[in-house]
Amino acid sequence: MKKLIVALVVIVAAVFWWQRTPLTDSNPYVFAVVDEEGKPTDMKYTVPDDKDILTQENSEQILYGKRLLNETKRLLPDNVGAAMNCNSCHLYQGKLEYGDPYINTYNAFPQFNSRAERVVTIEERINGCFQRSMNGTPLPEQSDEMKAIIAYYKWLAQDVPHGWQVVHQNTGPIDTSLQPNMDKGEEIYGAMCASCHGDNGEGMWDASGNIMFPPLWGDDSFNIGAGMARLYKAAAFVKYNMPMGYTMNRPQGQGHVLTDQEAVDVSYYFTQKPRPDFPAKVYDWPSGKKPKDARY
Amino acid sequence: MKVTKWVTIAALLFVAVLGFSMSMPHWYYPDAQAYQLDMNDPDVLAKGEYAAIAGDCVACHTAPGGQKFSGGLAMETPVGVIYSTNITPDKATGIGSYSYQQFEKAVRQGLRSDNAPLYHAMPYPSYQVVSDEDIQAMYAYFMKVVLPIQKENKDSTIPWPLNMRWPMHLWQMVFAPKRDFAPIADATDAINRGAYLVEGLAHCGACHTPRGIAFQEKSLSADSNNHFLAGAVLEGWYAKSLRSEATGLASWTEEELFDFFTTGRNARTAAFGSMADVIAHSTQHMTAEDRWAMVKYLKQLPPKKGHQVEFPEKTDTTTNKLLAGDYSDTGALEYVEHCAACHRLDGLGAARIFPALDNNSIVFAEDPSSLIQVTLEGARMPNTPHDRMAFAMPGFQHLSDQEVADVLTFIRQGWSNNASKVEVKDVARMRDFVKIRPSHYVLGSEK
């Protein structure tokens, strides 16, 4: 009897010991959703974990899309001219607010494009990136690769209906009335950018042949037709996302370091550097309503 | 009758122990020497500042956001929180009224000016071996150079009767016995200089040596018991083994270690947590000779008995799997989602920017505490003039315990790493622990 009581006490104590720390669930990012007219809805959007991909029927296709976005240069060398991956700009696999996310991409197209002054399809928009930011050639619209990339976007949009939008900002505000200062920009570049992007803007590759920090100018950088070549677009990106691995901001230690003025100065420094031309630029803004920071 | 007898015996015994203990400061230590240096000699002051830097006094004697040396940093002990003291020369609240003899007793013997014993959060067991010359120079520096700051010391939260200090006299006699620095026979001058620094001022053992039942360091020098610098957990950080064994410094070259002491990083890894403080305040400011001396000394420490000298060779299959899009290993998908943007598919990171996870000794350490804590809480490299930027990693508290355990197990067993699994309950416990941990020193926050 005594032994039994001792055993019971030990078991109960062990269970308490084991149970004393409750396990913690993940704490995902949740956003509101608005309908076609921008009115609030009851729907909430939760940024999905990649594990959720495995529950999808076309999980292989989605994972292929995810890989193409992460490792574009290595996997699609014929289509990517620059040393650049999609996710060089679309941070955290397109899940990061202010980091050019893909969360609303699938549901937002076809969409009016002010540069083309017409409605463009999602395939055209993706190929815009391939031809401008990645200074390459378009993917065939019916290719497995194009379909895989769109499948990833569709998965990322979860069950948000087409036309509705997650209240999740692609980019943050920047004061576009600020005038850039080249000398200050150069100074900031040296102190805050060159460690990764190189003193000559040449970027950095990892040991297994993937581009890690993209070149910011020169032959391997984005061409003159890219959004990133525009001063204030670049400045907004820099302000909210750069440097990376520098702050305690989740999930990538990104941004919120420079003032608007500093972001404008440093963006002026690298956007004005030599970079590949984009011959099809002649078709942009056909009626001439160019933004003031266009390079052409 | 019988009861009264026993009570009397117990009371007498108690009084005897108390008396013996309280009398200890008067007979146990040698008489303090007279002060022999010129306190206004700039060379003495410089030497004193150097000793204070090597001793890293500022790291513990400065609260987050507080004035240098004014104390108030909280330190978690198993029985409550204690606070470091004001060691500025303020006469009312600091050590301004300390004579040299009192200063020497505090630093090397752990006795306050009123002869009460100090808690051994103050590494006086290590400082015992510091030379008279260094202690005297340090006294001059604190009295003549350090700015006096008026700031009252905070009481500890240790409850009565555990907060009584007198039993600590007995602790000191048993665990911090008086001793002098003992050079290693036949070793080079550099190795002995390294031993003097590592065992003494740098007090590396305070974090890196395992502690015993009375919270004493199991060994204070490289003696035969092999516990010295064999790795230990303190405040939820695992300070790795510094011995030449697989999980210790065997995978580090001398150059890498020197680079680490100088710049807080090398091509493979970077300092974080308390070690980032040590680099920022201490080792980077030491002379190159002294940094080399510590390297030479550490690299000749033999492995602990029974510890693996080197890991068996393991071929990396992880990189090719990830490059081929095979995410079937548990934790691989999470790795690619949350870690690979910086640490890369090959686990090699970016030299001096993002630490490698493959073959990084904190990743495959015996105890994963530091790895878990860094993952949950994030960390920052120290800033040194060598590199233009000091990088940081944010915390990943938003991941579940299961996700953190999976991804860390993937990392500890991926590439050429060969370490044990991280359990879900280990992550849960660390999450719990960091919630109650007192806020620690924040790099660069001092005024």
Domain boundaries, chain A: 30-166, 182-283
Altogether, the residues listed in chain B come to a count of 447
Picking from A28, A191, A245, the nearest residue to B342 by CB comes out as A245
pLDDT of residue A25: 87
Domain A30-166 of CATH type 3.40.50.2300: no
Instruction: Walk along chain B (447 residues) and give the pLDDT tens digit of each residue.
Output: 688 999 999 999 999 999 999 898 888 887 778 899 999 999 999 999 999 999 999 999 999 889 999 999 988 777 888 999 999 999 999 999 999 999 999 999 999 999 999 998 999 999 999 999 999 999 999 999 999 999 999 999 999 888 899 999 999 999 988 889 999 999 999 999 999 999 999 999 999 999 999 889 999 998 777 899 999 998 888 999 999 999 999 999 999 999 999 999 999 999 998 899 999 999 999 999 999 999 999 999 999 988 888 888 899 999 999 999 999 999 999 999 999 999 999 999 999 999 999 999 999 999 999 999 999 999 999 999 999 999 999 999 999 999 999 999 999 999 999 999 999 999 999 998 888 765 554 444 444
Q: A251 and B338: CB-CB below 8 Å?
A: yes
Compare all CA atoms of chain A with the CA of B431 and give the residue at the minimum distance: A24
Whether the model clears a pTM of 0.95, i.e. scores above it, the answer is no
pLDDT of the residue at B236: 85
Please, are residues A71 and A210 in contact by the beta-carbon 8 Å criterion? yes
Among B284, B283, B297, residue whose Cα is nearest residue B201: B283
Whole-complex ipTM = 0.92
pLDDT recorded at residue B435: 81
Residues 6+ apart with CB under 8 A from A228: A89, A133, A222, A234, A237, A271
Amino acid at B442: V
Average pLDDT over chain A, rounded to whole? 94
Of residues A51, A93, A195, nearest to B353 (C-beta): A195
Among B394, B402, B424, beta carbon nearest to A251:
B394
Mutate to test the interface with B, among A91, A248, A258, A266 (most CBs of B within 10 A): A248
| B327 at interface of A, judged by CB pairs closer than 8 A | yes
Q: Residue A7, Cβ neighbours under 10 Å: how many?
A: 10
Q: Could you tell me if B354 lies within 8 Å of chain A, comparing CB atoms?
A: yes
CB A147 within 8 A of CB A93: no
Fold held by A182-283: Cytochrome Bc1 Complex; Chain D, domain 2 (1.10.760)
Task: Report chain A residues whose CB lies below 8 A from the CB of B389.
Answer: 191-192, 195, 243, 246
Residue in B with minimal Cα distance to A199:
B388
For testing contact with chain B, the best of A23, A30, A52, A188 (most B CBs within 10 A): A23
Cβ contacts of B430 within 8 Å, gap of 6 or more: B236, B369, B372, B373, B376
Is A18 in contact with B338 (Cβ distance < 8 A)?
Answer: no
pLDDT at A97: 95
Chain A residue at shortest CA distance from B432: A21
Report the C-alpha gap between B269 and B350 in whole angstroms: 10
Q: Least CA distance to B404: which residue of chain A?
A: A26
User: Burial level of B91, CB count in 10 A (0-12/13-18/19+)?
Assistant: exposed
- H-run or E-run covering A235: helix A231-241
Q: What is the rounded end-to-end Cα distance, in angstroms, of chain A?
A: 92
Contact criterion met (CB < 8 Å) for A63 and B346: no
Contacting residues of A for B429, CB less than 8 Å apart:
21
B401 vs A24, A208, A210: nearest CB: A24
Strands A40-46 and A30-34: antiparallel
Better-scored residue on pLDDT, B270 or A23: B270
Cβ burial, residue A137 (10 Å; 0-12/13-18/19+): middle
Cα B377 versus chain centre, distance:
19
CATH number of B189-299: 1.10.760
Residue-wise pLDDT for A113-135, tens only, equals 999 999 999 999 999 999 999 99
Whether residues A210 and B392 touch (CB distance < 8 A) is answered with no
At residue A16, does pLDDT exceed 80?
Answer: no
Q: How far is B167 from chain A (nearest CA, A)?
A: 32
B305: left (phi over 0), alpha (psi -120 to 50) or beta: beta
CATH architecture of B318-436: Orthogonal Bundle (1.10)
B434 to chain A, any CB pair closer than 8 A? The answer is no
Name which of B334, B344, B388 is nearest A191 (Cβ-Cβ). B388
Residue spans per domain, chain B: 27-150, 189-299, 318-436
Please indicate whether, in this complex, the C-beta atoms of B391 and A91 are within 8 angstroms of each other.
no
- Judging contacts by C-beta atoms under 8 Å, the chain A residues touching residue B319 are 208
Nearest CA in chain A to B387: A195
Give the C-alpha separation, B415 to B408, whole Å.
13
**Tokens encoding A234:** 């670049």
Query: Whole-angstrom Cα distance, residue B29 to residue B177?
Result: 9
